[in-house]
Amino acid sequence: MVDVGDKATTAREAVARGTIRMSRDAIAQIRSGRVKKGDPLQAARLAGIMAAKQTSALIPLCHPLPLSSVQVELLPTSTGYTIEATARTTAQTGVEMEALTAVAVAALTVYDMVKAVDKRMVIGDIMLMKKTGGKSGTFER
């Protein structure tokens, strides 16, 4: 989703990150556009954004809140991809769960689309990188 409204009214932001490690063959298939089910990176990006919007339906005690923006990026690494999600809201609750959920579901989507080639992929290092605007002040890893 693109940003709505101006930044001044965006009270809170969270950035989460994670990785998916895979075989050379799987990396090659993605980068050469040969994955049979379609482009895993595009699908992962959209699935991550859509999942962020469902966070409060997935996580039992997580508050529903109106997200003003979610961004998901997949960056190539030597062993696969780093996934980074940024969530923003003007609401009075933190959005770290939305960012973390976006990362996890984006990673699961890559897994789903590439699993015909590599079942040994590992999703890992899902963590909060940064959180700003909350009552408890700025968190930075």
Dihedral class, residue 120 (left if φ above 0, else alpha if ψ from -120 to 50, else beta): alpha
CA distance 17 to 75: 11
* Residue choice 23, 50, 79, 132 for contact with a copy of itself (CB under 8 A): 50
**Contact flag: residue 83 with a copy of itself (CB under 8 A):** no
Binding of residue 73 to a copy of itself (CB under 8 A): no
107 is a contact residue toward a copy of itself (CB under 8 A): yes
Q: Does 76 bind a copy of itself (CB under 8 A)?
A: no
64 contacts a copy of itself (rule: CB under 8 A): yes
The nearest distance, CB 75 to a copy of itself, in angstroms, is 16
The token duo for 53 is 């919007």
Applying CB under 8 A, does 18 fall inside the site for a copy of itself?
Answer: yes
**Distance from the Cα of residue 80 to its chain's centroid:** 15
Interface with a copy of itself: number of residues (CB under 8 A): 62
Kindly tell me which of 43 and 133 has the beta carbon lying closer to a copy of itself: 43
69 within 8 A of 87, measured Cβ to Cβ: yes
Residue 112 among the catalytic residues:
yes
CB of 43 to a copy of itself, least distance (A): 5
User: Which has the closest alpha carbon to 10: 87, 64, 71?
Assistant: 87
Closest CA to 46 of 121, 97, 108: 108
**Buried residues in 119-129 as b, exposed as e (16+ CB within 10 A):** eebebeebebb
Helix, strand or coil, per DSSP, at residue 65: coil
Q: Does 113 bind a copy of itself (CB under 8 A)?
A: yes
Least distance to a copy of itself, CB of residue 78, Å: 18
For residue 58, state whether it binds a copy of itself (rule: CB under 8 A): yes
